[in-house]
Homo-oligomer: A and B are copies of this chain.
Amino acid sequence: MIFASDNWAGAHPKIAAALSAGAQGYASAYGTGELDRKVEQRFCELFERDVAVFFVGTGTAANSIALASLSRPGGVAFCHTEAHVIEDEGGAPEFLTGGARLRGVTGDLGRMDPKALDAAIRLHPAQFVHSGQPMAATITQATEIGTLYGLDQIAVIGEVCREHAIPLHLDGARFANALVALETTPAEMTWKRGVDIVSFGGTKNGCWCAEAVVVMDPAKASDLPFLRKRSAHLFSKSRFIAAQFDAYFEDGLWLETARHANAMAATLADRLEESPAVRLAWKPQANEVFALIHTQIASELQARGARFHQWNLPQGFSQTLNDGEALYRFVTSFATTPADIEAFGALLP
């Protein structure tokens, strides 16, 4: 009954097995080996174009280094006010970009409002040094609260970025969960909608630690090897990340684990809804479920072994809380089982 976070799970057995299998033998270090090349090529196929790929070990590193590659002096990057990059990464994006600022943009239920984005960018007119210069926008897909940008919504954000001549970054810590929920392809969800650079996450979806910065136009990636190295994110035995991704993509494992996690979330949501003591906060779209529960009931559930966290009310949340109610987050993953959900459901009043 662990719904605390998708990073509380370990690694998928196939990932672990691939890693063990790859432990043998020698390979050229620092990302120059054959397996690195093979997996990079796999990314090109997935994105249906030549992309430049840089493996790193944490999602925060992927986001920070991706933004660093877009950084400009006095640069301002625009993100949702509740985005992971601004709220949960300990200042890494600002630090690893060498001083870029993040400016929060409003929007309901985790999604940046395109009009608010446009207005925010306009607060930083070109060549007005006092306010700095716009350098990028970044969206999270799926968002921090398990909602999704529809493909059209991404396209609209991409259009705003184009108008202001800034690139668009997509934080895909839960890329696969979003992808299968939208029943689309990596290409459709990114560059065909105006996304220039992606943090492609594998960790939350079954890997130990496999993240990649994916640059849609390799010609714009020339600084990235140095940006990764100067922040100490180039692994000597880089193939241990490559091996994870290799297994992750093999036979569509990544889509399968994401579909499973999403399905578990849907089941969990159904189960929660059945309880008169619980109200869903909004319809879950990926692998996170948010619900309003009385704190006393939540405490009892936790006391009986369920793990899940209280959460701040997001912007645009319009329901009224009853006395004693609070918002709680439940996250499912590749490792969640129907039995987990049944066990939890049995605890619900």
Contacts and interface: CB of A to CB of B under 8 A. Distances in A.
A325 to B, nearest CB: 20
A61 B99 CA distance: 16
Interface string A85-129: 001111110111011111000000000000000000000000101
A25 B11 CA distance: 9
A225 B129 CA distance: 6
Nearest to A86: B101
Size band of the interface chain A makes with B: 35 or more
Given A226-B72, A230-B99, A236-B59, A23 B27 contact: no
A90 B134 CA distance: 11
Given A88-B131, A127-B225, A236-B203, A95 B230 contact: yes
B22 A20 contact: no
In the complex, the count of this chain's copies comes to 4
Interface string A207-250: 01100000000000001011111111111110110000000000
Contact of A98 (B9, B64, B98): B98
Nearest to A15: B23
Interface of A: 2, 4-5, 7-13, 15-17, 19-20, 22-30, 56-61, 64-65, 68, 72-76, 87-92, 94-96, 98-102, 127, 129-133, 203-204, 208-209, 223, 225-237, 239-240, 307, 335
